Amino acid sequence: MEFYGVTLSSRLLLGTARYPSPKILEAAVRASGAEIVTVSLRREGGDQRAGQAFWSLIGELGLRVLPNTAGCHSVKEAVTTAHMARELFGTTWIKLEVIGEADTLQPDVFGLVEAARILGEDGFEVFPYTTEDLVVAERLLEGGCRVLMPWGAPIGSARGLNNLFGLRALRAHFPDVPLVIDAGLGLPSHAAAAMEMGYDAVLLNTAVAEAGDPVRMAEAFALAVDAGRLAHTASPLEPRDMAAPSTPVLGKAVLA
């Protein structure tokens, strides 16, 4: 798997919010085998250098950081946050979120496309949190994005893959674009299903962080992602309308 010229072994990206403790976060990240973690930039407390222990922990894990613009509801806010993140983390990678609806946290796709274009022109390598809409995807790619991150379901909902038709259509329409399912996964089986469809990776946070045992759940998701990818590369059977006997009829004894 490759993102913006960077080759990665793990197809599981993990968020770093809402864990019971830094120790559990560290153990869960290690159990997941993830090579990329997402980190939200919080403006408050900057002068007091709040949260430095957290940043130190992230640094010690030795992973690639993907800052995000979580909580941004306008183009200006998202672009400003992205610039702050680039300065703080020293990376041109940014997970771009422009939220348009409060209850579902659905992306504002109009603002998303505009912000992606602005950040692309400013030298960012953008990972846009988007919907499965084909037209929006086309506009994001035209704006310079080389990765797309469609939602499976609303953030933190654990509903899995809500629109299988739309997600399959997106995969088929953009066969050469890295696609990452981002948001809404609740079970390892959801992740496996996404990988079986041919998606390149999954990104999740709440399903691991709020599990009864985040470390075991992180490991379970890692296994599911690997299993789903392996199944996809094995060219699985397509669904059939009729039964197909697994035991051959030829050579079967005929009783009079």
> Do the annotations mark residue 71 as ligand-binding?
no
> Is position 68 annotated in a ligand binding site?
no
CB 177 within 8 A of CB 148: yes
Tally DSSP H helices, then E strands, for the chain: 9, 10
Q: How far apart are CA 179 and CA 1, in angstroms?
A: 10
Inter-residue contact 105 to 154 (CB < 8 Å): yes
Residue type, 174: F
> In 22-122, where do the E strands start and end?
36-40, 64-68, 93-96
User: The tokens of 3 are what?
Assistant: 């993102």
Identify the CA nearest to 64 among candidates 113, 5, 112, 117.
5
d(CA 160, CA 163): 9
Cα 92 from Cα 6, distance rounded (Å): 12
| 205 annotated binding-site participant | yes
CB 65 within 8 A of CB 89: yes
Looking at 23, 76, 95, 252, which residue is catalytic?
95
Residue 163 labeled ligand binder: no
The question of whether 95 is a catalytic residue gets the answer: yes
Contact 206, 218 (CB under 8 A): no
Question: Is 85 among the annotated ligand-binding positions?
Answer: no
Residues contributing to the annotated binding site for 1-deoxy-D-xylulose 5-phosphate? 156, 183-184, 205-206
Residues contributing to the annotated binding site? 156, 183-184, 205-206
Q: Give the catalytic positions in this structure.
A: 95
